[in-house]
Amino acid sequence: MNRIKKGDTVEVITGEFRGERGAVRIVLPKEGRVVVSGINLVKRHQRPTGRVRTQAGIIEFEAPLRLSNVALVCPRCHQRTKVAFQIDGEGGKSRLCKKCGEPID
């Protein structure tokens, strides 16, 4: 089970965007990366290609960040936190905030 899921709010803890918060849009488990809404925007120049009508000019997109560079923000206490896992009666796992002890899911 991943400690960070799509839809979570995370805070960047290192690098150029340190301290910025955003919602996780995409989790890339194989790469160990996440795409966070509004963070790590990269501009790319794009030319129209072939017959397919593509958007020309400058496009902006969010480049993935390393999972190790972001921390989960607890939706209850709004603090940057670590995730604890709790095993429930049915053998499933749920996430808990280590700061306030509240469930995150």
Q: Which positions lie near Zn ion, rule CB under 5 A? A: 74, 76-77, 97, 99-100
Look up residue 71 and give its two tokens: 């921390």
- Closer residue to Zn ion in complex, CB, 20/84: 84
- List Cα–Cα distances, 86 to 3, 26, 51, 89, in angstroms: 12, 24, 53, 10
| Phi, psi (degrees; rounded to nearest 5) at 69 | -95, 0
User: CB of residue 53 vs Zn ion: minimum separation in angstroms?
Assistant: 47
Interacting residues of 81 by C-beta distance below 8 A, sequence separation 6+: 71, 72, 73, 74, 97, 98, 99, 100
Closer of 90 and 105 to Zn ion (Cβ): 105
Quick one: 18 or 98, whose CB is closer to Zn ion?
98
CA-based end-to-end distance of the chain: 12
Least Å distance, CB 101 to Zn ion, is 7
Q: Kindly tell me which of 25 and 99 has the beta carbon lying closer to Zn ion.
A: 99
CB of 39 to Zn ion, least distance (A): 21
User: Taking the complex as a whole, how short is the minimal distance between the CB of residue 96 and Zn ion, in angstroms?
Assistant: 8
